[in-house]
Amino acid sequence: MNKYILSLLGTALGLNCLAQANISPAPAQDKKVIVMGARLHTGNGKVIENSYLIFEQGKITGLGDATVVRLDPSGSTLINASNKHIYPGFIAPVTNLGLVEISSVKATMDYSEIGELNPHIRALVAYNTDSKVPATIRSNGVLMAQITPQGGTISGSSSVVQLDAWNWEDAAIRTDDALHLNWPVTPKFRGQGSRAGVPSAAELSSRTQNTINQLDQLFAEAKAYAETEKPVVVNGRLAAMKHLFDGTQKLFITANAQKDIISAVKFAKKYNITPVLVEGDEAYLIIPFLKENNISVVVKEPHNLPVMNDDDVNMPYKNAGVLANAGINVSMSLHSYWQLRNLPFMAGTVAAWGLDKEKALQTITLNTAKVLGIDKTAGSLEIGKDATFFISDGDALDMKTNKVEKAFIQGRDINLDNLHKQLDKKFSDKYKAGKQ
């Protein structure tokens, strides 16, 4: 009984805290804006030391070196960003953001469904734009995310959203961009028989192979269904996989051991699909194979311990740099919504462990946009792309200096207030007043 009472109290306190923040989405841009004087990081490796950036109706219409042009600011809003930095909006792939609000309250978790093979599940329709979490991560420059289901062998389809919207329809940038598959894990220990209820390696291998056989059958049926012009019987699960085979939807496969990565890639190639590898702890051991098959890698957060006992203790820090320096397209993932505010600092860690600073920036901007299929409109600051960027008083990849002062999503000047800032002000004011 006490457990249930505590759970109810926790829910009530959580909802009470959430009710304190009331931040409405910004209105559409109605006036041309010129930002002058900032150090502009384009997101594609280039830096403009003293820049100008012009955007109208949500699109970038001009940018370049402010020292060689004369701009007419009449009829425009002029922002002086001297001695500050401009960055493209950071993008968080493979995350359950907006699908869970309070991790200790089951009723607020909507990122996983019952069953193992759920290609028909769409994370987008469960995305909660009223969540108070996105506002906290926007304050560190994360302005877009790939909302991703989790659990099972096939989790369902993700969608890419911008993080300032009234509802999921407004938020969507690219719907059902990818299907997510968790590759069956190959057993790593040996044994002749079961003991104390522990299955043998042979039994585990048999289970793994059975799962792969089920996947093979499902993909074969889905491919045949996709090639059928007018199916006699409508099958929602198979129809949800149709765009894997015409190239308009991507396949993200989570795998870590090198043997599993190779098996997963060969499985996808069998159906003429070039997958995106997620996590890939041992990807650095098979770089030639990944390059040969044109595989992009979404590495998991570098602030982790090594996976194997004999791994280099600093391998999680080095992993992204090793892959990127070898010519592989690398982006960075933080699966848990509560870690996303640290995404830029993860990229900063990668920069400190072997990757050029601007290339590290690309792991959370343009590289990610390419993987998600939104690089024509997002991921870098270029004429014609969305005006989704932010202004920081310091280096956005450095925890000590990151200070986002202004942010725009598709030209809209968004509110950077959030629950954390409100609570900080509340208790700072309390102690400034001398109250205990």
Q: Which tens digit of pLDDT belongs to each residue from 229-260?
A: 888 888 999 999 999 999 999 999 999 999 99
Q: Within this chain, do residues 337 and 401 fall inside the same structural domain, yes or no?
A: no
pTM of the full structure: 0.90
Q: Using 50, 70 and 90 to split pLDDT, how confident is the model at 22?
A: low
Handedness of CA 210, 215, 220, 222 (dihedral sign): positive
9 domain residue, yes or no:
no
Alpha-carbon distance of 38 to 59, in angstroms, equals: 19
In a domain, 422, yes or no: no
User: 99-125, pLDDT tens digit by residue?
Assistant: 888 777 777 777 778 889 999 999 999
CATH of the domain at 386: 2.30.40.10
Q: Is residue 427 part of a domain?
A: no
Identify whether residues 28 and 139 lie together within a single domain. Answer: no
Give yes or no: residues 125 and 152 share one domain.
Answer: yes
Does residue 242 lie within any of the structural domains? Answer: yes
Q: What's residue 141's pLDDT?
A: 95
With 0-12 / 13-18 / 19 or more C-beta atoms within 10 angstroms meaning exposed / middle / buried, residue 187 is: middle
pLDDT in the model for residue 435: 59
Both 211 and 278 in a single domain?
yes
- Residue-number span of the structural domain to which 300 is assigned: 91-376
Identity of the residue numbered 262:
I
Mean pLDDT of 35-48: 95
Write a three-state SS string for 284-305.
HHHHHHHHHCCCEEEEECCCCC
Angle at 373 between CA 369 and CA 142, to 5 degrees: 30
Handedness of CA 207, 210, 216, 217 (dihedral sign): negative
pLDDT of residue 193: 47
208 and 295 together in one domain: yes
pLDDT in tens, 133-153: 999 999 999 999 999 999 899
Which pLDDT does position 195 carry in this prediction? 53
42 and 169 share one domain: no
Please indicate, yes or no, whether residues 370 and 328 belong to a single structural domain of this protein: yes
pLDDT for residue 322? 95
- Name which of 11-20, 71-80, 321-330 the model is least confident about: 11-20
pLDDT at 8 (0 to 100):
42
Q: What DSSP character marks residue 83?
A: T
141 shares a domain with 102: yes
Residue 197: per-residue pLDDT: 61
Q: What is the pLDDT of residue 362?
A: 97
Q: What is the mean pLDDT of residues 199-225?
A: 89
Helix axes 343-352 and 315-325, enclosed angle (nearest 10): 80
Q: Name, in order, each residue with C-beta under 8 angstroms of 211's C-beta and a sequence gap of 6 or more.
A: 116, 153, 184
280 and 307 in contact (C-beta within 8 Å)? no
In this structure, the answer to whether residues 371 and 391 fall within a common structural domain is no
Same domain (yes/no): 360, 407: no
Checking if the pLDDT of 433 tops 50, the result is yes
**Is 426 contained in some domain?**
no
Above 60 in pLDDT, residue 13? no
Q: Which tens digits make up the pLDDT trace of 365-400?
A: 999 999 999 999 999 999 999 999 999 999 999 999
CA 120 to chain centre: 21
pLDDT at 237: 92
Domain presence at residue 7 = no
State the average pLDDT over residues 329-354. 90
For residue 370, give both structure tokens.
């390419």
Q: Is residue 138 part of a domain?
A: yes
Predicted local distance difference test score (pLDDT) of residue 158: 96
| Residue 19 clears pLDDT 90, i.e. is over it | no
Domain count, the chain: 2
Clarify whether residues 168 and 35 are in a common domain.
Answer: no
Burial class of residue 262 in the structure, from the number of CB atoms within 10 Å of its CB (0-12 exposed, 13-18 middle, 19+ buried): middle
**Domain contains 14:** no
Assign residue 285 the CATH number of its domain. 3.20.20.140
pLDDT at 173: 96
Average pLDDT across the chain, whole number:
88
Q: Which residues contact 180 (CB under 8 A, 6 or more apart)?
A: 94, 148, 149, 150, 154, 155, 156, 157, 158, 252, 254, 278
Asked if 238 and 338 sit in the same domain, the reply is yes
